[in-house]
A and B are shown apart, each in its own frame.
Chain A
């Protein structure tokens, strides 16, 4: 009897602790959702209110007001899409070659790609600042896409290498025996099998490009101002417009939250980007 009540108590504590931990994870987002529907005066009420008269005016303001984030969303979309397309087109064949071909120096090659992925962004922003200034590419899409390639390309290569290593070789080997060229085998046999892997890679490359901030804040400007930088429209030295900031941030983060949930099962692999398999084996 006492044992059973003991385990019931343990179960209750277990549930309480896990509920509290769950709350901590969602709290900032929960608060931002609440705040985004508040009047700016309501925001600074003490104690914080949970029940209040909801208003949509913050959303209207950040979408249609004078400091609308729509142009910034467009900028983010252009940069993220261009970065994703370029990275994937270059990364997929490269990853296939690293995973399959008996290239001379395959091991150092793998390490080189991995090392480029580890480069701290601050080490790239300083030379890029001077280079882009020199060639007049500051505050331009091509400039930002160029520097975004530095983190998205090695990431995409590594992620794709780990997927290619999981695809069995039999079918392409049969194709090669039938005198298909490497490119033919790659195009007609391997790529169709790698569709899912490419989709996942696309999602994560896009997500990382969308969320980037450091490169954008320094190399962007009035013309090219991604949405992460535009968050600062609602913050100035005199005051922070909390409610508008929250509405803008939630709109800006909606695409990545949706993508994250869509790619839920792959998120660990996406964030690990091949470091788990590839590098250790070779």
Chain B
């Protein structure tokens, strides 16, 4: 019963990944067909000395870390808030669906136009109305790095919210009653009761959000295309641009291999932590 599924998986993913590994040892440039040749670890040596790669790697770390922390803090905060207004819960549950089901490319385009365009976007309008002035949200390198983080956080926080809402709703009521009788304040109740109880849920959320952030592509592609310059280039976008804009497929494959290794390593570490909890 499992054999057909396994065969298809091996054929469609494992075999292409082995081919990717092989490609990463080649010099393949689509602009120069017929010049393909085996160069061993040449692409990896090039990557080691490539400051643009290191830039992309460090921004990937920032992008992943910041978006995951923001999603967790805002999502958990909102879940605790909404838990206190049971009558309005349905509105949040329905509204949370919206960002989650939108195609990331559509999200990127909506933000690029309706939200962040200088002068016409609603965020810029709000910023001007508040006296903070108009900004080139996606055109200024520093600002663009924040903007694409905000976009990812906007789209995926609802997931953390829904997940945490379910986790919090399942907590035993009587523990809190006892704590109230003991006059423990809200902060202490959160630190000593809520947090330890929802720790497994937090670990699961972090695993899922990290793997999604590491695979992010379409929203950044639509919003900035990795730019301005290389400002919002996460490793994913770097590999894409090297492969399909500069047509250097061999080098792109090597970058993709490194990203693959990082993703699997991060997942393995997190799963180990999860087993320990």
Contact = CB atoms under 8 A, between A and B. Distances in A.
Interface of A: 14-15, 17-18, 21-22, 24-29, 31-32, 35, 43-44, 46-48, 90-91, 93-98, 101, 103, 109, 112-113, 115-116, 118-131, 146-147, 149-150, 153-154, 157, 182-183, 186, 207, 210-214, 218, 228, 231, 235, 240, 242, 245-246, 249, 252-253, 256-257, 259-261, 264, 267-268, 271-272, 275-276, 279-280
B109 A120 contact: no
B106 A228 contact: yes
B92 A22 contact: yes
A150 B13 contact: yes
Given A109-B6, A260-B101, A127 B16 contact: yes
B241 to A, nearest CB: 10
B43 interface: no
The 9 closest A-B pairs by CB, nearest first: A94-B5, A260-B101, A211-B103, A97-B2, A97-B1, A127-B16, A213-B218, A127-B19, A213-B105
A242 B122 CA distance: 14
B195 interface: no
Given A14-B81, A257-B98, A123 B256 contact: yes
A81 B271 CA distance: 33
Q: Among A48, A126, A157, which residue has the most Cβ atoms of chain B within 10 A?
A: A126
8 contacts: A29-B110, A116-B9, A127-B20, A149-B8, A231-B222, A249-B110, A257-B97, A257-B101
A24 to B, nearest CB: 7
A121 B2 contact: no
Interface of B: 1-2, 4-6, 8-9, 12-14, 16-17, 19-20, 23, 28, 78, 81-82, 84-85, 88, 91-107, 109-111, 113-115, 119-120, 122, 125, 154, 158-159, 162-163, 166, 204, 207-208, 211, 214-215, 217-218, 221-222, 236, 239-240, 243-244, 249, 252-253, 256-257, 259-260, 263-264, 267, 271, 274-275
B162 A268 contact: yes
Residue in B5, B8, B162, B267 whose Cβ sees the most chain A Cβ within 10 Å? B5
A54 to B, nearest CB: 17
A43 B256 contact: no
Given A29-B98, A280-B275, A127 B23 contact: yes
Contacts of A279: 271
A225 to B, nearest CB: 13
Nearest to B212: A271
A146 B158 CA distance: 31
Contacts of A46: 119-120, 125
B103 A210 contact: yes
A262 to B, nearest CB: 10
Contacts of B103: 210-213, 228, 252-253, 256
B28 to A, nearest CB: 8
A206 B67 CA distance: 27
Q: Which of B28, B94, B214 has the most CB of A within 10 A?
A: B94
Contacts of A109: 2, 6
B154 A267 contact: no
Contacts of A127: 16-17, 19-20, 23, 253
Contact of A25 (B8, B99, B243): B99
Contacts of A101: 1-2
Given A267-B100, A268-B159, A22 B214 contact: no
A268 B97 contact: no
Contacts of A259: 101
A153 B9 contact: yes
Contacts of B243: 122, 125-126, 129
